Structure 1
Amino acid sequence: MTTTATALHRIATLWPDLHDALGQPATITGFGLGLRGYLQALEQYDIAEAAALRALERSPDQLGTRPVPVNLRIMDTMRTVEAALHETATQIAATNQHDVRTSHPHRWHYTGKPRGAVWTALWLSARAQGVFWPGRALTEPQHRHLGHVATESLRRIEHALDLAHDTHELSEDHACQCGGRIVISGGAGDQPTAHCRHCGAYWTETGVVAA
């Protein structure tokens, strides 16, 4: 299986986890939530995100049960990835798919209800692997484009689910007391840490370890 096909299968496998995480409200209490939580605690919510959260809430004087808060970061990831996969599949079909009027299970359909992200990812995986279908094999530029879409989509998903190790340098607004830039690392189950590039101060969830 090619690297592209593996990434697309991974996307299909992780999609249910995104659905599970979608209903979890975003919290920003700090280090204990991992790298993303620490970033959120330092940088706070974006103004647009906070406004969207308020818009999703029903007025307290309305009757009935209030909806479960939606994790907007997960929602944005799902929408972006699904749109990218769908657009890529549509482009490939428009260029490579034969004009066959009879129904075929491997054909990409332009009309009707859009296919879900899982089905689309697996359809694209089959195209990457050269599985027979009523259409021409992908060209080298198409393979490269599909590979980019697959790896970038998987990166976004793993980042949203905090499955990938990441390193991030904070802006000058969140500099160390010495004026140096702070770099934080974490994710993929690792305990988040931070250190100053200038003075060498080092932080963990329990506080300053060394300075």
Structure 2
Amino acid sequence: MITARLTLANLRIIVAHWPDLHHALATTGTATWPPAGRMADYLASIDRRTDDEIEAADWNARALRDLERSPEQIGETRAPIRLRILDTMAAVETNLVEAADQIAAAVQRSPMSYAPRGWPAADRARRDQLAREDAADPRRWRYVGTRSGRHAAAWLLARVQGLPGPFERLTDDQLDRIAAVAASAAQRVEQALDMADHKATLTRPCPDCQGELVIEAGAGRTPMVWCSACGHTWTEQPSAA
């Protein structure tokens, strides 16, 4: 059984980074690694090339990106990142909302009933008020209305935490169900937002020792090229103002 701590961490990733997915919808590009558009910067740092050579490399990089997007190119090409983000959000949202529907059907208590007609007026008014408040409890999972992936993740997070509300305790099977959905969803979000580590070997050798060059980035780190033989490292040069 996946630990509750890991499940909570995965659900928090979804809640925290759902706005980032919306922001990423406005971006475009390809999912290739290393990123062709930035290779000129890496290689400029290594070679200390002239401005003309760097400009030529930039032109080649732009041409490569155009080729990757060209409908005339033979064979399959990767979809623009906007479509990948959209696909990720749709899949994650579908799975999380479905899980929340199933869990709510099993653990969410039905709202309090209204008072019978024969009750005294004061008692009936009080009971009906309690029934309305119970039905409108914001902690309840709704089968209509706000049903986003982020809302579903937050609701499932509260259930795993055991927060109070009109709910029964989760069973081990229900915890396992949430854990599996949360793990898959968090992985999709991290991949779509490029939060995971990336590493690739360059085709050209180290200019110092002819060793193998490796480009590494991801997880919020500044992209870097390093030689696996001599250990020399290069970082991306900042763009000229």
- Pairwise TM-score range, normalised by the shorter structure: 0.5 to 0.7
Q: Are the structure 2 counterparts of residues 140 and 193 from structure 1 closer, same or farther at C-alpha, using a change threshold of 3 Å?
A: farther
Residue 98 of structure 1 contacts residue 134 of structure 1 at CA under 8 Å; is this kept in 2? yes
Residue 128 of structure 1 contacts residue 143 of structure 1 at CA under 8 Å; is this kept in 2? yes
Query: Aligned residue for 1:72?
Result: 83
Matching residue within 5, 13, 18 for 1:15: 18
What is the TM-score with the length of structure 1 in the denominator? 0.62
Structure 2 residue runs without a partner (length 5+): 40-63, 70-74, 113-130, 204-213, 228-233, 237-241
Matching residue within 169, 174, 196 for 1:137: 169
Query: Aligned residue for 2:58?
Result: none
Aligned residues: 170
Query: Aligned residue for 2:92?
Result: 81
Query: Aligned residue for 2:125?
Result: none
Query: Aligned residue for 2:49?
Result: none
- Is 1:187 the equivalent of 2:190? no
d(CA) in 2 for partners of 1:81, 1:32 = 30
For 2:192, the aligned partner's letter is A
What is the TM-score with the length of structure 2 in the denominator? 0.55
Structure 1 residue runs without a partner (length 5+): 34-39, 54-69, 171-175, 177-182, 196-203, 207-211
Superposition RMSD on alpha carbons, in Å? 4.0
Residue 96 of structure 1 contacts residue 137 of structure 1 at CA under 8 Å; is this kept in 2? yes
Residue 165 of structure 1 contacts residue 186 of structure 1 at CA under 8 Å; is this kept in 2? yes
Q: CA deviation at 1:115?
A: 1.8
Q: Are the structure 2 counterparts of residues 84 and 193 from structure 1 closer, same or farther at C-alpha, using a change threshold of 3 Å?
A: farther
Describe how 1:88-167 pairs up with structure 2 within 5 A. 88-101=99-112, 102=131, 103=135, 104-110=137-143, 112-166=144-198
Residue 26 of structure 2 contacts residue 82 of structure 2 at CA under 8 Å; is this kept in 1? yes
Query: Aligned residue for 1:62?
Result: none
Q: Which has the higher contact order (CA 8 A, sep 6+)?
A: 2
Q: Are the structure 2 counterparts of residues 142 and 160 from structure 1 closer, same or farther at C-alpha, using a change threshold of 3 Å?
A: same
Q: CA deviation at 1:7?
A: 2.1
d(CA) in 2 for partners of 1:30, 1:205 = 16
d(CA) in 2 for partners of 1:107, 1:145 = 19
Residue 222 of structure 2 contacts residue 235 of structure 2 at CA under 8 Å; is this kept in 1? no
22-31 or 141-150: bigger deviation: 22-31
Residue 107 of structure 2 contacts residue 167 of structure 2 at CA under 8 Å; is this kept in 1? yes
Q: Are the structure 2 counterparts of residues 96 and 13 from structure 1 closer, same or farther at C-alpha, using a change threshold of 3 Å?
A: same
Residue 198 of structure 2 contacts residue 216 of structure 2 at CA under 8 Å; is this kept in 1? yes
